[in-house]
Amino acid sequence: MSSVLDQENIDNLCVDVSEASGTSREQQKWSEDVILFQPYQVEQITLPDYAQCLAVEAFLRMTGIIFRVEQRTNAAEMSPSGKVPFIQVGSQLIAEFEPIVKFAASKGYCLCKDKPEQAVAEMWAYVSMLDNILTNAELYVAWMVPDVLAEVTKPRYGCAYPWPLNWILPWLKQREVQHLMTIKDWASKSLGEVTGEVRVCLRALSEKLDKNKFFLGPTPSELDAVVFGHIFILQTSKLPGSPFNKLVSQFDNLGNFCKRIESTYFF
């Protein structure tokens, strides 16, 4: 996910190719096999990567795109960007949420194509907020909280590699994340300050959702997929020293939103 899109990108994102070609979305199917690649969920995946993978999977399910999930120990190495998840469509590889959304839109699959222009711009502003706060908070907790780092993140990140790579690679990743957190001015934050940032973000999401079923009206949008990925992980991950489970429980409508998305699209 990236920063707020400019207007030209917003307009291009949701061009309905099926209408332009005179066929409905139901008629226009991807002829190629669609595969979603991600790390192994139980043994290997880390908190930030799991949120991203769930967001992409939720988006694909919401669009009705037929796909299958392939879990690979070397998913990140296979990815064209070095990040997970990524999809393979024929000979093409597309990684990360926003590029996948754009690629799907070019094939006629766009959740926000019928939304007002202002609502779409606001949607991407919220997606940017989630990236700037929740993604950073997930990276912070996974790689900078000592108990989580030692007991969860490093063992998972290194589990696919033999010694000494299972020690060296997590150490290198830790240094990379710490450098990123320093650049973003998050490395100096305390866990309490990070929790405060997350609380402000969750409150904004809760107020935006209010009593509605989805964030932008009666049908799901890309924002719903991203919110589900983050909130579900923060709500369900059992991490030592992490306050996020209790924090999410303070916002009933967000918890109910996740249950609704899970029951509607994942069963």
Which class does domain 2-106 fall in? alpha beta
φ and ψ of 26, to 5 deg: -65, -30
| Distance in angstroms (rounded) separating the CA atoms of residues 52 and 135 | 9
Give the pTM. Answer: 0.88
pLDDT of residue 43: 85
pLDDT score, position 23:
34
Q: With left for phi above 0 and alpha for psi between -120 and 50, is residue 86 left, alpha or beta?
A: beta
Domains 2-106 and 117-265 share a fold: no
d(CA 98, CA 104): 10
Query: Residue 152 and residue 213: Cα distance in Å, rounded?
Result: 34
Chain segment 2-46, per-residue pLDDT in tens:
333 444 444 444 543 334 333 344 434 566 789 999 999 878 999
Question: What pLDDT score was predicted for residue 31?
Answer: 61
**The listed CATH number (1.25.10.10, 1.20.1050.10, 3.90.226.10, 2.30.30.140) that belongs to domain 117-265:** 1.20.1050.10
pLDDT, position 32: 72
In this prediction, residue 172 has a pLDDT band, given cuts at 50, 70 and 90, of: very high
The 8-class DSSP code of residue 151 comes to I
* Cα 149–chain centre separation: 21
Encode pLDDT of 92-149 as tens digits. 999 999 999 999 999 999 999 888 999 999 999 999 999 999 999 999 999 999 999 9
Helices then strands, counting H and E runs in the chain, come out as 14, 4
Every domain of the chain and the residues it spans: 2-106, 117-265
Residue 242: per-residue pLDDT: 74
